[in-house]
Structure 1
Amino acid sequence: MVSGNSRQLTSFGGFVANIRLALRDWDHLVPVATGNVRPEGFELDLESRAVTPDVLAEPGLDGGETSFSRYVLGRAMGDDRLVGLPVFVMRGFRHRCVLVRRDSELTSLEELKGARVGLTGWPDSGNTWTRALLRAAGVDLGGVTWTVGPLVAGETGKDRTGPLPFPENVSLTGDGLAEGLAAGRYDAIMTPFMPAEFFTGESRFRHLLPDHRAAELAYYRRTGFVPGIHLVTLKRESFERHPWLPRAVQDLFERSKRHWLARRRLLADTTPWLLDDLTSTARTFGEDWMPYGTAPNTAMTAAFCEELHAQGISPRRITAEEVFDQ
């Protein structure tokens, strides 16, 4: 447990609340987990999870890490049991997430027109952003033959389908996509996680884009944001019981993020070239490449909502204002 002052009174006149959140162990949250950054005005039980928690399915949780698409789709369908915080604990470019065989002749998104593509989930936030890249490159998603399945056969515990029926050109498989790509059943696959062999010199796979970093930088300069994948949500009953909680959690995680960055810049020898990466990141994005708050995330949220609707995942076009309307 990470605690504030247990005898401190809140501005609402009651003793400090005990809040329970579940998230994966992101580096920028480690200062909270270790107690180096502490909550102010409340006690926090921060649980580290191996996979993204289903906040609504766990009665003991006040909130936690939630898929951006799952949250937005809930709002679009009138489900407001979760209150989203503009605290994106996971965000990242998706150009790197398209893999092909090492001997493939494909080197661009445009070349995926009419291709056979496997992906690890249909409504997923990350795959939605990746398909958006294809749309921007002029690829008709309706002309692609999509297969949804696990990266490795036997993987479970993930909703790969979402609440709406698949389009006609999308099918489901239980076979591993990585082996399917290696066997030539797919021209490319989309995955947020790299196959284990990708980190070896003998990998059968490579990124579709020869210089995905350059493509990602161009994307950032064009859009002004790094795509949000997962955010923090609170159960509505917890929010209504503690209306000050969203701001308190956002402030806590902001302090944790800044503490983590300061320490990494000082203790940069955790990987051979981390210092160089930290330096280039700061020079490209400024002091904060993953800002929290509604205003700095409005354009990104609006773009994501538009993609969910344009790709037929959301039943209606939802606005950025609705997403964070408590």
Structure 2
Amino acid sequence: MTHKIPLSFASILYDRMQPLASGEIQPSGIDLNFLTLNHPRDIFDRMAGGKEFDASELSLSEYICRYAAGHRDFVAIPVFPSRAFRHSFIAVNSNSVKKPSDLSGKKIGVQLYTMTAAVWIRSVLQQHGVDLSTIQWVQGSMESGESHGKPSAMPLTKPINIEQNKSGKSLSQLLEEGEIDATIGADLPHCLGKAAHVKRMFPDFKEVEKAYYKETGIFPIMHTVVIRAELCEKYPWLATSLYNALNDSKDVARARMRFLDCLRYMLPWLAQELDEIDEVFSGDPFVYGVDSNRKTLEALIEALHEQAMIKEKLSIEELFVSPRGQNWKVGWGTTEVSR
């Protein structure tokens, strides 16, 4: 009997992870224990803070900052399970903010200054004329008066005007009551849609995000996948095996999403959405690999440097292990067999 290496892997159960989680796709040489968690912050804190898993998804900015600070305890493979445009995640007090540049000199709530979503949003704000050096950042949970998880964030490379929210109120409450002028992050405040003066900065965000992609070619990456470094040292083939399995799992999910005889997702106009995706992206929006994502990765590294999160710009090649080629395939249908 062939011996398989036991490997625990923690992730959100995305559609692109489902075939891997169910065991339909099996990474070669690995006995995978897929651990489904429901919030990424929980995964990040447990992996970065306690190394509770052999592998997991991880905040891309958190991984890059750890690497830049000299922490080489994780090896990243160029798999990006979470991506999202973030223009729609800027909520403002419309009494004081009419256009993006009005945010200069204002107080903005952010769940965590170092979270990837916030990095991308600050980059967007900067492109719209916001002077980030004038912002007073208020850091805390969007829906409670506590902190956003228990992150193991690296020290910033220069002073940034950040205060921890100690008001006992959530960022959503502070925005609703006019104590801050906006919120950014991976979540929207609950007061949006309830308080008349709280609105999205970009109400037509879909068109704005499509224009952003057309201009830049960037579909922002949020998370990557990491493996504990000592396992990759002991089993040099491990990263390639997991990379291939994650690609195969995504391929199966994409094929099933496009089976429209009966809708797999609760989206009445899924066919129209798929047509629009094809028109905008001309391929797989969630493509893995370094070369296909070079422009996006370079933009994130540039933003991390500008926003005082890394001292020096890193090369992409040193951040990710290079998989030794994707598996050859045999067979037909939506679930090809790897060899």
Q: TM-score range by the shorter chain?
A: 0.7 to 0.9
Instruction: Give the secondary structure class of the aligned counterpart of 1:194.
Output: coil
**Structure 2 counterpart of 1:258, one-letter code:** D
Partner residue, 2:217:
224
The one-letter code of the counterpart of 1:145 is Q
Alpha-carbon distance change, 294 to 269 in structure 1, aligned in 2, over 3 angstroms = closer
What residue in structure 2 maps to residue 295 of structure 1? Answer: 291
| Aligned partners of 1:180 and 1:186 also within 8 Å | yes
Contact 1:117–1:189 under 8 Å retained in 2: yes
> Shift of the alpha carbon at 1:126?
0.8
Tell me, in whole angstroms, the C-alpha distance in 1 between the residues paired with 2:135 and 2:148.
Answer: 27
Distance 1:139 1:254, change over 3 A: same
Change beyond 3 A, Cα 1:107–1:268: farther
**Cα contact 1:84–1:233 (8 A) shared by 2:** yes
Aligned to 1:29: 17
Alpha-carbon distance change, 163 to 60 in structure 1, aligned in 2, over 3 angstroms: closer
1:108 aligns with 2:99: yes
CA contact (8 A) 1:121 1:161 kept: no
Whether 1:87 aligns to 2:52 is no
Rounded Cα–Cα distance in structure 1 between residues aligned with 2:231 and 2:265? 40
TM (norm. structure 1) is 0.87
* Structure 2: gaps of 5 or more residues: 323-339
- Equivalenced residue count is 311
Partner SS for 2:61: helix
Instruction: Supply the distance in 1 between the matched residues of 2:54 and 2:23 (Cα, whole angstroms).
Output: 20
Unpaired segments ≥5 residues, structure 1:
1-6, 9-14
Report the more deviating stretch, 25-34 or 53-62. Answer: 53-62
Please tell me whether residue 67 in structure 1 is matched to residue 63 in structure 2.
no
- The change in CA–CA distance for 1:16 and 1:160 in structure 2 (over 3 A counts) is closer
Q: Please give the secondary structure, in 2, of the residue aligned with 1:186.
A: coil
Q: 1:270 to 1:155 in 2, by over 3 A?
A: farther
TM-score, normalised relative to structure 2: 0.84
- The 1:105–1:59 alpha-carbon spacing in structure 2 relative to 1, beyond 3 Å, is closer
Q: CA deviation at 1:106?
A: 3.6
Contact 1:19–1:44 under 8 Å retained in 2: yes
Q: Describe the superposition over 1:207-250 as per-residue Cα deviations: whole angstroms up to 9, x where unpaired.
A: 11121112211221222121111110000011112211222111
Contact kept in structure 2, 1:16 and 1:42, CA below 8 Å: yes
* Equivalent residue number for residue 182 of structure 2: 188
Whether 1:129 and 2:120 are equivalent positions in the alignment is yes
Greater shift in the superposed pair: 82-91 or 53-62: 53-62
**Alpha-carbon contact 1:121-1:159 (below 8 Å) kept:** no
76 and 36 in structure 1: CA distance in 2 versus 1, 3 angstrom threshold: same
- Partner SS for 2:284: coil
The separation in 1 between residues aligned to 2:231 and 2:182, in whole angstroms, is: 43
| d(CA) in 2 for partners of 1:315, 1:159 | 23
Partner Cα distance (2:52, 2:136) in 1: 42
8 Å CA contact retained: 1:147, 1:173: yes
188-197 or 303-312, which moves further after superposition? 188-197
Which residue in the other structure is 1:17 paired with? 5
Percent identity, aligned pairs only? Answer: 28
- Which amino acid counterpart does residue 36 of structure 1 have in structure 2? E
Asked if the contact 1:117–1:144 (Cα under 8 Å) also holds between the matched residues in 2, the reply is yes
Letter in 1 for 2:84: G
C-alpha distance after superposition, 1:157-178 (max 9, x if no partner): 6246832258352211043111
Report the counterpart of residue 325 of structure 2 in structure 1.
none
State the 1:129 CA deviation: 0.8
Superposition pairs of residues 205-244 of structure 1, within 5 angstroms: 205-244=198-237
Contact 1:31 1:256 in 2 (8 A): yes
